[in-house]
Amino acid sequence: MAAAIEAALSTFAATVLAALLALVLGSVTLRYLFSTGLVGAEVAGLWLFLLLVALGMPLAASGPLSMRLDILVKLLPQRLRLLAGVAADSVTVLAALTLLLGGIDAAGLMGSTSVVLGLPDWLRPAALAAGGALLMALLLLRRVAEGCGLPVLLSVLVGAGVYALPVDYAASWPPSLVALMLAGIGLLFGAPLAHCLLAAAALAVPFGSALLLPALVTNAASGLSRFLLLAIPFFLLAGGLLTISGAAERLVRLAASLVGHRRAGLAQTTLLTSLLFSGASGSSVANAAFGAGTFYPQLVRNGYPPAQAGAVIAATSVLDNVIPPSIAFLLLAAATDLSVGALLLGGAYAGLVMAACLAVAIHLVHRRTDPMPRVTGQERRSALLAALPALGLVLVVVGGIRIGLVTPTEAAALAAGYALLLAVAHRSGRASLWSTFRQSAIEAAAIGLLIGAAAPMTFLLAVDDVAGMVTGFVTSLGGQAVVVLLLCNLVLLTTGLVLDIGAAILLLAPILLPAAVAAGIDPIAFGVILVVNLMIGGVTPPVGILIFVVSGLTGVEAPKLFRAVTPYLAALLVALLLLCLAALVL
């Protein structure tokens, strides 16, 4: 039963993503070729994105997309692990009830109608309410299928009981601090990150939060109502379509022809491919999965120890969320209103610095590894010509945004459309095409849910003026740029150890950016430093999402990968230092 519902939801979500892509591409085509447009295309796109998040919400509650911090839970004895599972499911139940009941209340309070679409506005919170109901239903069905009927019943009772707590608690702490502490507790139990944020925001109401449950759901829906965010599913789709089109393999051949003949040539090829593929996928997790399937077997066959091979793949995958198009920079722009084009250009420079440092580290670690055979100039030119279609995607995205011809969302839609044409020309089967749409839709829904869940928390932090307090604290220390950068780096590196990059950007960027600007640091340079800091967290324990992705796909134990990645972590920290020095002299 659960599998059938999941299959239906993923099909519906993929259909919504296809409709969203057709809508944006149609709007762009009409505007540039016929000097007209689709009335209400932007609003319709936002409504479709909200529907996509609601449909994909239950599907993102398990697996790596759930962003669980369960490494501590795995260290517990079996009995305590079972109790932690009950607590984690209770958090999910509370989040689902918040969306369901809060969404129903919010829908009942809305009597307006969308002027552009002619649809009642109550449909937006109702969509999240439906997502909450589906989340609850799938949780129950999954646990019953796993033989955990009694524990999940206990989770429902606990979650519902906490939801029904009285609402008149007195607290001397700010509601935002209470919410952050509760979210942290939920993470320690191994609950999904987005569910922790929603449940914590709901539990902050009894402690004086101004965001009551209907307003909480409305705020979450508003957090998704930015046209810029529609670029996220399109970039995810473009990366997936490039992989099945064979363009990614052509990038591999180009990279091998350029650097394969050097010492540690295969590892350097992995790095250069990550550099090139970064301009297509915009997702470090996608690149880590691609590298684990493509390079890991070859690295091991060519004499690289398994842990070292996996470490190279994980470390080089950091580049994808720094080099444009970068989903991380899209989130940062949405959270801070910084220029997307300027951030992407800064990310390109930062990515080159990081790649250079990683190249040195790979050379030092694997300098005794034999190179690959040298190719001829004709073979190199042939590899370049074969890779031009994939490289053209970078020009479409970065060039279009930087010149100002298209918005980031339109550029992402053009990239997805371009990649779809490459996949069709490669004669990719309907099954693989549809599978890519389904996977991209689920990934986009997971990121969208995180954005929506972080919006109420960000609102609470703004109401409590946490950014002002941080700026005041920095000013009391003298407000020197060096001191501010040092403190921010410590906060970001520490946060990156335990928190997903998306949530960290949405929560910390609005707090730290004003302090950096007050100290005279260029906001774009600081934004780049912020993303690089948090991306380094992708290869650091205990969370290290890139390490766990590579571990899951290669079978190498995560602790071994964490040890093997140490030289590359040092290289990334050197790159971060260089970026900070550059920011100080701007």
CA dihedral 291, 415, 388, 430 (to 10 degrees): 70
> What pLDDT sits at residue 399?
67
3-class DSSP assignment, residue 523:
helix
Instruction: Identify the top-confidence range among 70-74, 151-155, 256-260, 320-324.
Output: 151-155
With residue 76 as reference, give the H or E element that holds it.
none
Q: Which of 162-176, 279-293, 498-512 has the lowest mean pLDDT?
A: 279-293
pLDDT (average), residues 178-187: 87
* Helices of type H across 246-339: 247-259, 265-281, 284-294, 296-301, 306-316, 327-336
pLDDT (average), residues 563-581: 93
Token pair recorded at residue 246: 């064979």
pTM confidence score? 0.85
- Tell me which of 481 and 571 has the higher pLDDT: 571
pLDDT band for 13, please (50, 70, 90 cuts). Answer: very high
pLDDT (average), residues 398-408: 69
Given a contact cutoff of 8 angstroms between Cβ atoms, the answer to whether 521 and 528 are in contact is: no
> What pLDDT sits at residue 252?
75
Q: Is the pLDDT of residue 571 over 90?
A: yes
pLDDT (average), residues 13-34: 90
Q: What share of the chain is helix, strand, coil (3-state, %, to 5)?
A: 80, 0, 20
> What pLDDT sits at residue 22?
93
pLDDT band for 300, please (50, 70, 90 cuts). Answer: confident
pLDDT band for 34, please (50, 70, 90 cuts). Answer: confident
Structural domain boundaries of the chain?
2-222, 230-426+452-585
With residue 131 as reference, give the H or E element that holds it.
helix 123-145
3-class DSSP assignment, residue 470:
helix
> What pLDDT sits at residue 478?
66
pLDDT single digits (tens) 419-461: 888 888 877 778 888 999 998 899 889 888 888 888 888 888 8
Q: Is the pLDDT of residue 280 over 60?
A: no
> What pLDDT sits at residue 504?
83
Token pair recorded at residue 225: 């109502």
Q: Which residue type is seen at 143?
A: R
> What pLDDT sits at residue 279?
56
Sorted by sequence, the CB contacts under 8 Å of residue 427 that are 6+ apart come out as none
Kindly state the DSSP code that residue 210 receives in the 8-state scheme. Answer: S
- Tell me which of 345 and 549 has the higher pLDDT: 345
- Listed residue (39, 171, 200, 52) closest to 118, CA to CA: 39
With residue 514 as reference, give the H or E element that holds it.
helix 501-518
pLDDT (average), residues 524-537: 92
pLDDT band for 281, please (50, 70, 90 cuts). Answer: low
- Tell me which of 267 and 22 has the higher pLDDT: 22
pLDDT single digits (tens) 322-373: 887 778 888 888 888 888 888 888 988 999 999 999 999 998 888 777 666 7
Question: Cα separations (Å) of 300 from 295, 304, 311, 506?
Answer: 9, 5, 12, 38
pLDDT band for 283, please (50, 70, 90 cuts). Answer: low
* Helices of type H across 371-465: 377-394, 400-403, 408-425, 430-463
Counting runs of H as helices and runs of E as strands, what totals does the chain give? Answer: 27, 0
> What pLDDT sits at residue 242?
80
- Tell me which of 522 and 231 has the higher pLDDT: 522
pLDDT band for 163, please (50, 70, 90 cuts). Answer: confident
pLDDT band for 91, please (50, 70, 90 cuts). Answer: very high
Question: Cα separations (Å) of 277 from 238, 249, 250, 372, 438?
Answer: 11, 10, 10, 21, 21
pLDDT (average), residues 538-559: 79
- Listed residue (253, 256, 259, 265) closest to 366, CA to CA: 265
pLDDT band for 402, please (50, 70, 90 cuts). Answer: low
pLDDT (average), residues 516-539: 90
Q: Which of 179-183, 222-226, 295-299, 329-333 has the lowest mean pLDDT?
A: 295-299
